[in-house]
Amino acid sequence: MNADFIRQLPKAELHVHLDGSLRLQTLIELAQQQKVELPSYTQEGMRELVYKKDYKDLQDYLRGFTYAIRVLQDAESIERGAYEFALDVAADGVCYVEARFAPHHHINERLGYADIFQAVNKGFLRAKKEINIKYPDRPAFTYGLIACIMRFFRPEYGSYYKALASVLPKTSLVGLGVAAANDLVAALVEIKNKQGIPIVAVDLAGSEDGNPARPFQEVFSLARQNGIELTVHAGEAYGAESIFDAVMRLNAARIGHGYELFNKEMILDKVSDKKKYINILAQDMSQRTITCEMCLTSNSQTNPAMRDLKNHPIMQFVHAGIPVMLNTDNRLVSNTTLTNEYQIFSELFKPSIRLLRRMIMTGFHASFYPGTSNDKHKYVKQVVYALDEKLAQFAPGK
């Protein structure tokens, strides 16, 4: 299936980080304007040194975020980032997107929670108008915003973290992380309800290693009680136990990645029958249609065992009846597009048109669509119509 054709298919993207998806030229321009130091000020230089095709390890992969975060500290830059991001995903054939970012990485003395969300929303609204004029035959461009809560807390991460650590000097780093998360969720509820900004979910992000999800159980419950949905990064650097915590304790409706679910070697706790443990969890996820947001290229860059994506267990999920769909994770850092992800998947696993259609539709069904279920149903119907019309051109009669 060629790239042009995949690009034309109406698609949904549910797992994509704004700070990992800036346009490279924009990052360089903002750094120059703001006098932020970069290892190079040309696109080629930055591709060679930071945003590479292959990364040594997760640390190497994460370096790209620090530069993006440094230039996204004022409303104007954030709005520009969001605006260009929306235009880019639309050009990739995405008509529904849920973009995520960690507000605590952008908050500072001059920029509060509401300022950050207003800036992002302004960028999206401006782009939305242009996109809907440019592509009148597509289902209308629609978006939701996801706020990432960071699993770990370090005072050196920025002025917000430093200030919090200094007023709570006796609180542990985990305790500070939970306090910051509580503060964020209270702000999200207020911004969502008073300003009508489509904040649809919270996510738990950041390194899983040594940073379990359990302390965030109550914060997640608070978000849920206020009509905010839940997704959790899990089963990426850790195994089934981290997915278990996300699904059973935090009540996540979706899992970011989750690809280590079936890997027995990744279970570190004392579980006597690992196979049974995995089967029970997999069955539960299938029955409750807990969707895994898969990001193939990103996995191949952060995990040496996935370098050859033929080893990726995505088809095991399909066979176990766990809903999966594809995402870029980070358009700049992973140097990919959603079209590219579907193409990689098609080439490696030779899915039938039916399976491809099901995965694309899972992206819409599993979305935290900002509206009533009737609104969502109507939108999904439009997508089905548009998608089937396109697919019929590729395989008439199928």
- Site stretch for Zn ion (CB under 5 A), options 138-146, 258-266, 269-277, 322-330: 322-330
Indicate the residue among 146 and 191 with the shorter CB distance to Zn ion.
146
Question: How many positions of this chain bind Zn ion (CB under 5 A)?
Answer: 1
Indicate the residue among 128 and 328 with the shorter CB distance to Zn ion.
328
Indicate the residue among 62 and 179 with the shorter CB distance to Zn ion.
62
- Structure tokens given for 343: 């193409």
Q: Which of residues 120-159 bind Zn ion (CB under 5 A)?
A: none
**Least spacing, CB of residue 394 vs Zn ion, in Å:** 30
Question: How far, CA to CA in Å, does 17 sit from each of 156, 206, 256, 257?
Answer: 22, 12, 11, 13
Start-to-end Cα distance in the chain:
15
Position closest to Zn ion via CB: 329
Q: Which of residues 328-357 bind Zn ion (CB under 5 A)?
A: 329
254 has which bridge partners?
A: 231, 291
Indicate the residue among 19 and 329 with the shorter CB distance to Zn ion.
329
**Least spacing, CB of residue 295 vs Zn ion, in Å:** 7
108 has which bridge partners?
A: 111
- Site stretch for Zn ion (CB under 5 A), options 88-96, 323-331, 332-340, 378-386: 323-331
- Site stretch for Zn ion (CB under 5 A), options 61-69, 136-144, 154-162, 327-335: 327-335
Distance CA 240, CA 147 (A): 24
Contact 260, 266 (CB under 8 A): yes
Distance CA 17, CA 329 (A): 6
Number of C-beta neighbours around residue 48 at 10 A = 13
- Structure tokens given for 261: 């679910």
- Structure tokens given for 159: 């002025």
**Least spacing, CB of residue 140 vs Zn ion, in Å:** 26
Indicate the residue among 245 and 329 with the shorter CB distance to Zn ion.
329
- Site stretch for Zn ion (CB under 5 A), options 259-267, 269-277, 324-332, 362-370: 324-332
Closest CA to 178 of 250, 237, 106: 250
- Site stretch for Zn ion (CB under 5 A), options 91-99, 271-279, 325-333, 387-395: 325-333
**Least spacing, CB of residue 313 vs Zn ion, in Å:** 18
**Least spacing, CB of residue 391 vs Zn ion, in Å:** 29
Number of C-beta neighbours around residue 168 at 10 A = 13
Indicate the residue among 241 and 329 with the shorter CB distance to Zn ion.
329
Indicate the residue among 19 and 241 with the shorter CB distance to Zn ion.
19
Q: Which amino acid is at 271?
A: V
The DSSP output letter for 139 is: P
Contact 114, 147 (CB under 8 A): no
| Residue ranges that bind Zn ion, judged by CB under 5 A | 329
